Amino acid sequence: MPHDVTTPTPPFRSADDRFEVHQIPAMQDNLVWLIVCRATGAAAVVDGPSAKELTPYLEARGIALRAILNTHTHGDHVGINHDLARQGRLEGLDVFGPAQKAAQVPGLTLGVGEGDTVRVGALEGRVWLTEGHMDGHVSFVFGDVIFCGDTMFGAGCGFLFDGPPAKMHASLERIAQLDPATKVCCAHEYTLDNLRFAWSVEPDNPALEARIRASRAIRARGESTVPSTIATERESNPFLRHHSPTVRATVAAAFDDRVLETPLDVFAATRALKDRKDYRAISDAELPG
Ligand SMILES: [Zn+2]
pLDDT tens per residue, range 25-49 = 999 999 999 999 999 999 999 999 9
The mean pLDDT value for 203-217 works out to 98
The predicted structure's pLDDT at residue 4: 87
- Position 7 scores a pLDDT of 95
Amino acid in the structure at residue 251: V
The whole-model pTM stands at 0.98
For strands 152-153 and 156-157, give the pairing. Answer: antiparallel
Ligand 1 center from residue 280 Cα (angstroms): 21
pLDDT of residue 166: 98
Instruction: Report how far ligand 1's centroid is from the alpha carbon of 74 (Å).
Output: 5
Helix (H) or strand (E) holding 195: helix 191-201
Q: Residue 194 and residue 259: Cα distance in Å, rounded?
A: 24
**Containing H/E element for 249?**
helix 245-254
Average pLDDT, rounded, for the chain: 97
Close Cβ partners of 56 (under 8 Å, ≥ 6 residues apart): none
Instruction: Tell me the residue type at 154.
Output: G
Which residue ranges form the domains of the chain, and what is each CATH number?
12-286 (3.60.15.10)
Ligand 1 geometric centre to CA of 286 (Å)? 30
Task: Name the residue among 40, 38, 37, 32 with its Cα closest to residue 81.
Answer: 32
Beta carbons of 239 and 270 less than 8 angstroms apart: yes
- Please state the rounded mean pLDDT for residues 139-156: 98
SS3 114: coil
Catalytic residues: 72, 74, 76-77, 133, 150, 188
Distance 150 CA to ligand 1 centre (A): 5
Note the pLDDT tens digit of each residue in 156-194. 999 999 999 999 999 999 999 999 999 999 999 999 999
**3-state class (DSSP) for residue 254:** helix
Residue 3 has what pLDDT? 81
State mean pLDDT over 235-260.
96
Instruction: Answer whether 114's CB lies under 8 Å from 129's CB.
Output: yes
Percent of the chain with pLDDT over 90: 98
Residues 6+ apart with CB under 8 A from 118: 44, 67, 69, 94, 96, 110, 112, 124, 125, 127, 140
Cα 167 off chain centre by: 16
Whole-number percent of the chain with pLDDT over 70: 100
Residue 109's Cβ-count burial label (10 Å; 0-12, 13-18, 19+) is middle
Residue 273 CA to ligand 1 centre (angstroms): 20
248 C-alpha to ligand 1 centroid (Å): 28
Of 156, 212, 215, nearest to 188 (Cα)?
156
What pLDDT shows up at residue 59? 97
Q: Are 65 and 93 in contact (CB under 8 A)?
A: yes
